[in-house]
C-alpha cells in the first residue's frame, strides 16, 4: 500500500524569528514565505509504503538505543525526497557568502553536519568550504574537539566518526557562520562531512541538532535564543501548511501546562519526560510502573523525539495499550495486520480515544495522531508499535506522528516542556 501522496510532499512552513542578532535589545518576529517544495526543489520519488516507513523508524530506534547504551524558520516535512529520512527540515544557510541547505531538525542529536565538497558517498548538494571567507577547520587542541564522539587527529585537524541510523559519518570539525531566517550565528561549530559509509540513512543536505548537549543549536545560540524553542508539526494531510519553529522565549505561548524535563547526565542530548500513564477510552491502562520509570543509569524512560515517525513503546507498555484498544473495539471488530502494524481494522469503525498522561499535563491525541489509513481508506491501523524484539530497548519514544498539531515548547532554563493543542495545519 502506498503512503498517501501528501505524506511525501515537502512543504516549507512559516517560521517566526524572535531576534535578529546578538546585540539586539528589542527582539522582532520575522515571517518567511510558504513554499511547496514538490516542483521547485526536488523531483518526487516513488512513495514509501507504511512498511518501509516502519523499517526506517527501526533504524532510527537503533540509533536512539545506541545513545542510551553509550526567532521563526521554515520547517518542511522532509520525508524521503529531500533528507532521505522521515523527518522535518528547515532552510538554513552556511558560510560567507551564504550557501542554502534544507537541514533536518533532530531533537535527539547535538552536532550539526553538512556534506562538504569532495565528500565520498555524499549527495550532490554539498557545502563548498573553499568559497566561504569565514570557514575554518578546528585543530585537535580546540576545546570543541573533546565534545564530539570518537575524535581523532588527521593532519593536525580535529576529525570524528559517528554512527547515525545505518550510516557511518566521517567529518572534520569546523566553524563558520550559520544563518537562520536572517539571524547570523558566527563561529558555529559543525561537522564538515568528508565520507559516508553504509546505507544512505542520513539527511542528504545536513542536520541541525536541537539536543541539549554543548554543540547543539540550543547551546551554541544561547545568547541569542536563551535556550528556548518550540515547534508545531502540521498534519501530513494538510493542504495548506502553517507549522512553525519558534526560536527564543519572546512570543511563546503563556497559558499552557508544563511537564518537567528530566536530566540524564549520561544521555545529555535526550529530552526525557515523565510519562506516568496512558488512557484508552476512559480507562487508565494497566502498565507495570517499571516499564515507564525514568532511570538515569540504564537510560530507561520516555523521550520526545522529532526524528522518529511512529511512537515506539517498550513491550509491556505497547501490549497493554494495544490489548485495551482491541478490547474497546469490541469482539466483532475484524483485527488484521498491515506491514509493521498489528492492530488494523476495516472501516467504518468506532475508535476509542487515547490520552498520554504526563507529570503535570495530559495530551489527548486526535484520531489523526494515532491512526494511519490506507490510500483507499478501507483499512485503519493503530499507528504505534512495540520496540523491536531484537533491540534491547528501554526507551519509550513519543514520535512526530503523535506530535502533530500540538505546540511543544522546550524551556531549557526552567527544565520544562509545555504541550498544548494548536491547529498548525
pLDDT digits 0-9 by tens, 223-242: 988 999 998 887 766 555 56
Q: Give the best-scoring range by mean pLDDT among 67-76, 174-183, 200-209, 379-388.
A: 174-183
Burial-class residue 77 by CB neighbours within 10 Å (0-12, 13-18, 19+): buried
Which of these three, 247, 267, 299, is where a domain ends?
A: 247
Task: Find which of 261-265, 267-271, 412-416 is predicted with most confidence, using mean pLDDT.
Answer: 412-416
Q: Is 345 in contact with 335 (CB distance < 8 Å)?
A: yes
Query: What are φ and ψ of residue 369, in 5° steps?
Result: -95, -5
- pLDDT of the residue at 33: 25
State the SS3 of 173-187. Answer: EEEEEEEECCEEEEE
By C-alpha distance, which of 1, 86, 79 is closest to 44? 79
Which of 226, 247, 268 is the last residue in one of the domains? Answer: 247
Q: Does residue 289 share a domain with residue 207?
A: no
The 3-state secondary structure of the chain reads CECCHHHHCCEECCCEECCCCCCCCCCCCCECCCCECCCCCCCCCCCCEHHHHHHHHHHHHHHHHHHHHCCEECEEECHHHHHCCCCEEEEEEECCCCEEEEEEEECCCCCEEEEEEEEECCCCCCECHHHCCCCEECECCCHHHHHCCCEEEECCEEEEEEEECCEEEEEEEEEEEEEECCEEEEEEEEEEEEEEECCCCCCCCCEEECCCCCCCHHHHCHHHHCCEEEEECCCCCCCCCCCEEEECCCCCCCCCEEEEEECCHHHCCCCEECEEEEEECCEECCCCHHHHCCECCCCEEEEECCCCCCEEECHHHHHHHHHHHHHHHCCCCCEEEECCEEEEEECCCCCCCEEEEECCEEEEECHHHCEEECCCCCEEEECEEECCCCCCCCEEEECHHHHCCEEEEEECCCCEEEEEECCCC
pTM equals: 0.84
The C-alpha angle 229, 233, 234, rounded to 5 degrees, equals: 145
- For residue 390, what pLDDT is reported? 55
Q: Is residue 37 part of a domain?
A: yes
Query: Do residues 211 and 300 both lie within one domain?
Result: no
The answer to whether the CB of 73 falls within 8 A of the CB of 91 is yes
Same domain? 107 vs 201: yes
**Catalytic residue positions, numbered:** 106, 305
Give residue for cell 527501526: 58
Residue 399 lies inside a defined structural domain of this protein: yes
Burial class for 46, CB neighbours closer than 10 Å (0-12, 13-18, 19+)? exposed
Q: Which residues contact 130 (CB under 8 A, 6 or more apart)?
A: 117
Nearest to 194 by CA among 153, 159, 165: 159
197 and 320 fall within a common domain: no
Whether residue 44 lies inside any domain: the answer is yes
Please check whether residues 191 and 337 belong to one and the same domain: no
Residue 4: φ, ψ to 5°: -50, 140
Q: Are strands 183-197 and 207-209 parallel, antiparallel or unpaired?
A: unpaired
What pLDDT digit, counting tens, does each position of 188-216 carry? 999 999 999 987 667 888 999 999 999 99
| Same domain membership, residue 310 and residue 216 | no
Residue position matching grid coordinates 480515544:
353
Please indicate, yes or no, if residue 300 is contained in any of the structural domains: yes
For the chain, how far is it from start to end, CA to CA, in angstroms? 25
- The model's pLDDT over 386-398, given as tens digits with 9 standing for 90+, comes to 987 655 568 899 9
> Same domain, yes or no, for 181 and 199?
yes
Q: Rounded to whole angstroms, how far apart are CA atoms 302 and 289?
A: 12
Provide the residue range defining the domain that includes 193.
5-247
**CATH number of the domain residue 173 falls in:** 2.40.70.10
Total domains in the chain come to 2
Confidence of residue 167 (pLDDT cuts 50, 70, 90): confident
Q: What angle do CA 134, 244, 206 make, to 5 degrees?
A: 40
* Sign of the four-CA dihedral 400, 403, 405, 408: negative
Do 104 and 147 lie in one domain? The reply is yes
- Is 60 inside a domain boundary? yes
pLDDT at site 91: 86
pLDDT, one tens digit per residue, over 289-298 is 999 999 998 8
Same structural domain, 185 and 317: no
Is 414 inside any structural domain? Answer: yes
Q: Would you say residue 252 lies in a domain? A: no
Percent of the chain exceeding pLDDT 90 equals: 47
Let me know whether 304 and 411 are in one domain.
Answer: yes
**307 found inside a domain:** yes
Query: Among 212, 247, 282, where does a domain finish?
Result: 247
Least confident range from 80-84, 157-161, 283-287, 344-348: namely 80-84
Examine the domain organization and report whether 21 and 154 are in the same domain: yes
Residues 276 and 394 both lie in one domain? yes
Amino acid at each position: 500500500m502506498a503512503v498517501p501522496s501528501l505524506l511525501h510532499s515537502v512543504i516549507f512552513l512559516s517560521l517566526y524569528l524572535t531576534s535578529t542578532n546578538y546585540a539586539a535589545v528589542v527582539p522582532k518576529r520575522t515571517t518567511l514565505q510558504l513554499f511547496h517544495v514538490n516542483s521547485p526543489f526536488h523531483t518526487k520519488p516513488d512513495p514509501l509504503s507504511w512498511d518501509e516507513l516502519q523499517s526506517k523508524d527501526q533504524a532510527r530506534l537503533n540509533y536512539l538505543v545506541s545513545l542510551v547504551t553509550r526567532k521563526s524558520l521554515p520547517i518542511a516535512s522532509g520525508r524521503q525526497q529531500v533528507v532521505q529520512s522521515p523527518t522535518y527540515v528547515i532552510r538554513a544557510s552556511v558560510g560567507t557568502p551564504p550557501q542554502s541547505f534544507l537541514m533536518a531538525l533532530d531533537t535527539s542529536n547535538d552536532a550539526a553536519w553538512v556534506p562538504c565538497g569532495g565528500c565520498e558517498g555524499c549527495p550532490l548538494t554539498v557545502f563548498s568550504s573553499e568559497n566561504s571567507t569565514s570557514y575554518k577547520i578546528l585543530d585537535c587542541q580546540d576545546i570543541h574537539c573533546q565534545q564530539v564522539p570518537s575524535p581523532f587527529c588527521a593532519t593536525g585537524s580535529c576529525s570524528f566518526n559517528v554512527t547515525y541510523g545505518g550510516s557511518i559519518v566521517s567529518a572534520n570539525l569546523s566553524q563558520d557562520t550559520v544563518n537562520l531566517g536572517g539571524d547570523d550565528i558566527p563561529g558555529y561549530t559543525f561537522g564538515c562531512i568528508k565520507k559516508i559509509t553504509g546505507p544512505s540513512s542520513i539527511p542528504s543536505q545536513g542536520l541541525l541538532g536541537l539536543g541539549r548537549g554543548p554543540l547543539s543549536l540550543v547551546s551554541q545560540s544561547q545568547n541569542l535564543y536563551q535556550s528556548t524553542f518550540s515547534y508545531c508539526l502540521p498534519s501530513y494531510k494538510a493542504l495548506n501548511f502553517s507549522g512553525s519553529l519558534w526560536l527564543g522565549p519572546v512570543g511563546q505561548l503563556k497559558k499552557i501546562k508544563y511537564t518537567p524535563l528530566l536530566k540524564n547526565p549520561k544521555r545529555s542530548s535526550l529530552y526525557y519526560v515523565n510519562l506516568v500513564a496512558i488512557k484508552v477510552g476512559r480507562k487508565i491502562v494497566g502498565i507495570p510502573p517499571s516499564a515507564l520509570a525514568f532511570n538515569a543509569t540504564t537510560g530507561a524512560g520516555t523521550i520526545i523525539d522529532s526524528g522518529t515517525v511512529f511512537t515506539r513503546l517498550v513491550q509491556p507498555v505497547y501490549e497493554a495499550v494495544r490489548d485495551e484498544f482491541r478490547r474497546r473495539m469490541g469482539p466483532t471488530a475484524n483485527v488484521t495486520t498491515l506491514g509493521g502494524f498489528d492492530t488494523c481494522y476495516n472501516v467504518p469503525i468506532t475508535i476509542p480515544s487515547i490520552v498520554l498522561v504526563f507529570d503535570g499535563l495530559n495530551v489527548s491525541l486526535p484520531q489523526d495522531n494515532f491512526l494511519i489509513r490506507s490510500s483507499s481508506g478501507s483499512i485503519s491501523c493503530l499507528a504505534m508499535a512495540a520496540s523491536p524484539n531484537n533491540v534491547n530497548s528501554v526507551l519509550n519514544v513519543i514520535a512526530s506522528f503523535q506530535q502533530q498539531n500540538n505546540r511543544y515548547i522546550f524551556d531549557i532554563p526552567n527544565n520544562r516542556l509545555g504541550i498544548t493543542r494548536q491547529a498548525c495545519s
